[in-house]
Amino acid sequence: MVRSGWFSRKPNGNKSSTDIPAGIVTKCQRCNEILFVRDFERNSKVCTKCGFHHKLSAYERLEITVDEGSFQPLNEHIISRDPLNFIEYPAKLEKAQTNTKLTEAIVTGTAFIDNKPVVIGVSDFGYMGGSMGSVVGERISRAMEYGLAHRLPVILFTASGGARMQEGLLSLMQMAKTSASAGKLRNEGILYVCVLTDPTTGGVYASYACLGDVILAEPGAVVGFAGRRVGNQDTGVNLPDNFQTSEFQAEHGMVDRILQRKEIRPALALLLKLFDGGRHNDR
């Protein structure tokens, strides 16, 4: 008699019948609900139970935002050096590049949204916390300058802990540089839209992230210069629970609209239509 493989299978030492293979399920970071990876990804990494918006990589964001196959990267050849000989900085850059497959913490380029041309930039928090060093600042400024030169609207998705400490003052200078470029867009009447995602803080929040003609945000994102804990220490006041969230900023006039992830692409398409391909006349 031939015994089937099933009956001759040896018991597996440590595995219990409740073990689930990796890659099939994942857990919501907020409500701990067990979710099928397939459903989770189909829902653009928004928890189907509590609605928590998990972080997306730059290319995951582009995939759900721009017309399929339309993204063309710009300035990928500009990469970071180690101007201050900061301890372990080159190793951290290398590790971030390996983990994210990106050359820096922001991806910029041109694309179409609903057949309308745009310049778009997307931060990737997975690359050194999306921090802004010289190259991130330069890529943002060049994206804006490209928008100026070609009279294209500029859309930036932010996700950053702020300025990159490994480049010291050079990082802080990027705040002025990106703000100056945003000012030029304003002077030329070219639409600039910021979409704040979790988290948008520090020198990024205090510069280009706050300067859009229209500022959108995802729900529940940490948005602000410093967080609640630091704020409590500095002011000696017990700040509200939702302090430095997109909801708090919207209540106080710093965010125009909070949108669910799936609503962002249609909202951008509508803005591009309303602003006639990116031009406005408030000069």
Q: Which residues bind Zn ion (CB under 5 A)?
A: 28, 30-31, 33, 47, 49-50, 52
Closer CB to Zn ion, residue 31 or residue 176? 31
> Shortest approach of Zn ion to residue 185 CB, angstroms?
37
Q: Are strands 34-36 and 25-27 parallel, antiparallel or unpaired?
A: antiparallel
> Shortest approach of Zn ion to residue 51 CB, angstroms?
7
Rounded Cα–Cα distance for residues 62 and 138 (Å): 20
> Shortest approach of Zn ion to residue 264 CB, angstroms?
19
CB-CB contact of 137 with 181 (8 Å): no
Closer CB to Zn ion, residue 30 or residue 177? 30
> Shortest approach of Zn ion to residue 197 CB, angstroms?
17
Closer CB to Zn ion, residue 31 or residue 270? 31
Rounded Cα–Cα distance for residues 210 and 27 (Å): 32
Long-range contacts of residues 81-86, Cβ cutoff 8 Å, at least 24 apart: 82/166, 83/134, 83/167, 83/170, 84/166, 84/167, 84/168, 84/170, 86/166, 86/167, 86/168
Closer CB to Zn ion, residue 104 or residue 198? 198
> Shortest approach of Zn ion to residue 25 CB, angstroms?
13
> Shortest approach of Zn ion to residue 245 CB, angstroms?
16
DSSP state of 129: G
CB-CB contact of 215 with 254 (8 Å): yes
| Cα-Cα end-to-end distance for the chain | 89
Closer CB to Zn ion, residue 42 or residue 273? 42
- DSSP conformation letters of 153-190: -EEEEEEE-SB-GGGHHHHHHHHHHHHHHHHHHHHTTB
Closer CB to Zn ion, residue 47 or residue 118? 47
